[in-house]
Amino acid sequence: MTGLRETLQHLAALPSDRPMGMPGAFYTSQDQFEHEAATVLRRGWHCLGREDEIPEPGDYFTVQLLNEPLIAVRGDDGEIRVLANVCRHRGMPLAEGQGNVKRFVCSYHAWAYGRDGALLRAARMENAGFDPKSCRLHTHRVQLRNGFIYASLDAEAAPFEHPELDALLAPYEPERFRLVHVAEETWLTNWKCLVENFMEGYHLSVVHPQTLHGYTPTGLARKLPSGDGFTAYAANYPGGIPPRGMGAPGLSADERNRSTLFAKFPTQVASQAASLLVSLSIFPVSAGEIRVKWTMSTYGDDLDDGVIAARIKLWEDVNREDREKLERMQVALASEHAQPGPLAGEDYEGTVRDFQIWLAAQDREEVTATEPHMTPTGPKDAPLHL
């Protein structure tokens, strides 16, 4: 086990009243990134987007998840599938961006595939060893939950369950939200930095004095119960600010007067409010680069067009403020002096600690699964080189 992996185990085992963050190399080392890509990221379930991005048969969008180009497409049977965006002939991608197709026709030699990935036509093929009927695009595992589309690259990945997170979100009726905006950006930061940044309320008033401080000041951030594979906190609204849409009828006053921020590990972070749902899907590219796809959805017709336009602008500003901070931090994290620092308390950075503990548990599983000659290193015998 390398030094960073030992450090992760050691820090995740620290007492809960003295948590520490990871050293900079955890976020800047390409070796560490490739280890994560081959383990926690390849095994994980990743949010690709919203179901209502592709409401009609033939609607599709494409994304790149690690090395795998993917097409999410709604079939003639109404099912959403995630297909490998790689032609079975000689490997050309079949689609880009988003759109609607009757079939996917390869731009190289015109092989044609149905919306379910079956090969329909391969012109002039006289290769006797080739049976077109048994040829189809690889289909990745998919799970739909709360209106989101999740996929895993690992054919053996266990289906995910997180009833506590579902229960936390259920009063908001997330599956009833309708899409109003999608955008994609490149950020020069590590994927874990954005998970941590989105999930801690400690920075809100400092980084977002004009955009968020008035709605969700740091001082009102409160940790929510977390569970297997997720963490959450409440960004509570100060008393006296006007309601911004009523949302679902079953919401309590507390739920209506906060944004419920949650991370579904490893790569989805989202803010669920009464009338607004913003979700960021993080697609790691390298140690220092991610693609971010973010969606905004609203509850029914709760918000009019003017308010929606203002919310989109607000979130563009918030995301830019976060991106500027994270891109500057990414440079400094390469310093040998980027050593573990103390984390703030449960309400402010308890979510960062939850993520650290989850990553450590995932990495221990990896040791057990792939390196049976090694035993997970516990906190007592793991030297920490601070």
Stretch that binds ligand FES, among 29-37, 82-90, 128-136, 229-237 (CB under 6 A): 82-90
Q: What is the DSSP letter of 157?
A: P
H helices present in 271-304, as ranges: none
322 touches, from ligand FES, Fe ion, none (C-beta below 5 to 8 Å by class): Fe ion
3-state class (DSSP) for residue 6:
helix
Q: Which of 25, 37, 80, 87 binds ligand FES (CB under 6 A)?
A: 87
Nearer to ligand FES, 107 or 210 (CB): 107
Number of chain positions touching ligand FES (CB under 6 A) = 9
Minimum CB distance to ligand FES, residue 87 (Å): 3
| CB proximity list for 25: less than 8 A, separation 6 or greater | 4, 32, 333, 338
**Residue type (1 letter), 348:** Y
Which of 149, 152, 187 is closest to 61 using CA atoms?
149
Is residue 322 involved in binding Fe ion (CB under 5 A)? yes
Site string for ligand FES, 101-130 (x = CB under 6 A): -----x-xx-x-------------------
Which of 291, 181, 300, 165 is closest to 233 using CA atoms?
165
**Residue type (1 letter), 183:** A
Nearer to ligand FES, 108 or 375 (CB): 108
What is the 3-state composition of the chain as percent helix, strand, coil, each rounded to the nearest 5?
A: 30, 30, 40
Mapping DSSP onto H, E and C, the string for 163-206 reads HHHHHHHHHHCHHHEEEEEEEEEEECCCHHHHHHHHHCCCCHHH
Nearer to ligand FES, 107 or 335 (CB): 107
d(CA 105, CA 141): 23
Nearer to Fe ion, 84 or 278 (CB): 278
Minimum CB distance to ligand FES, residue 107 (Å): 8
Minimum CB distance to ligand FES, residue 112 (Å): 9
Site string for Fe ion, 24-53 (x = CB under 5 A): ------------------------------
Nearer to ligand FES, 86 or 199 (CB): 86
Minimum CB distance to ligand FES, residue 91 (Å): 6
Angle (nearest 5°) at CA 209 between 205 and 212: 75
Nearer to ligand FES, 91 or 249 (CB): 91
**Residue type (1 letter), 170:** A
Nearer to Fe ion, 101 or 194 (CB): 194
d(CA 301, CA 246): 10
Distances (CA, A) of 312 to 296, 298, 304, 376: 8, 11, 12, 46
106 touches, from Fe ion, ligand FES, none (C-beta below 5 to 8 Å by class): ligand FES
Q: Which of 13, 14, 92, 329 binds ligand FES (CB under 6 A)?
A: 92
How do strand 276-286 and strand 268-272 relate by DSSP bridges? antiparallel
Nearer to ligand FES, 139 or 339 (CB): 139
Task: Name the closest residue to Fe ion (Cβ).
Answer: 322
Q: Where does this chain bind Fe ion (CB under 5 A)?
A: 322
Q: Where does this chain bind ligand FES (CB under 6 A)?
A: 87, 89-92, 106, 108-109, 111
